[in-house]
Amino acid sequence: MQEDIEYDVLTIQTPKRARWYTRLWPSCLGHGCSCRKRRGQQRKFPLYLIGYDPIGELQRAASVGDVTSIEQFMNSQEHHVDEHDTKHRTPLHYACAHNHPDVVKYLLSKKACIDVQDDEGCTPLMKATQRDNVECVSILLIAGANPHLMDLSGNTALHHAVSRGNTTIASKLLEYNANIEAKTECGLTPFKLALFEEKYQMAQFLKQNGAIAPLEVESY
């Protein structure tokens, strides 16, 4: 409980950098932007884990990968495949957040809504990306998940992959035509976000895959 309190009151301070993209920082504060890291300091709890403790029995089964129980719930007709909690998080969200590919496949076979968004605008694809769950990401993309959707802060799944520094997932998203120049509400493209979060290997990867680099940062 004490750790939760400390996390909730954590104050973010503007990083003191000379680079051009520091001008974007004030506009990100208070908007849940992916720009949430400063040099030498990280949040104690990843934002993408908050709220993903399941409450309903169907969500609990999805979060632990219990396909058998999910099948029983579906067969009983007492639950719907897109049944959601108060945060609009469906079993597919939970399966992707907790990395259970078999559950993802089963739910999709039952016509689960693949692009459903929770109260933060996150899709199952975004949740899988935030947790570095490559197999879940692949399953969703093959099944037709939309990589262009944005959460409430304007982040696409590619932005989340960049924030995680996961070039494997970023590559998969680009294979399915994710917009490499999509901008968040802060005005950050994936390339600019990579620089802002000091993910220079990711920035180079994006540039090699066609990202437009501003003249100020052509050396990256």
**Per-residue pLDDT averaged across 161-178, rounded?**
98
- Going from the C-alpha of 154 to that of each of 134, 151, 182, 211, the distances in angstroms are 22, 5, 9, 18
On whether the CB atoms of residues 154 and 126 are closer than 8 A, the answer is: no
Which amino acid makes up residue 50? I
As a whole-number percent, the residues of the chain with pLDDT over 90 amount to 69
Residue 124 or 25, more confident: 124
> Quick one: pLDDT at residue 7?
34
| Verdict on whether the full-model pTM lies above 0.75 | yes
CA–CA separation, 125 and 76 (whole Å): 28
> Quick one: pLDDT at residue 55?
81
Q: What is the pLDDT of residues 24-65, one digit of tens each?
A: 443 343 344 444 444 444 444 455 555 578 888 999 999 999
Please name each of the domains of the chain with its CATH number: 43-146 (1.25.40.20), 149-209 (1.25.40.20)
Strand partners, 41: 38
Q: What is the pLDDT of residues 66-93, one digit of tens each?
A: 999 999 999 998 899 999 999 999 999 9
> Quick one: pLDDT at residue 113?
98
- Going from the C-alpha of 172 to that of each of 24, 33, 129, 131, 157, the distances in angstroms are 28, 23, 11, 15, 11
Of all helices (H) and strands (E), which one includes residue 204? helix 200-208
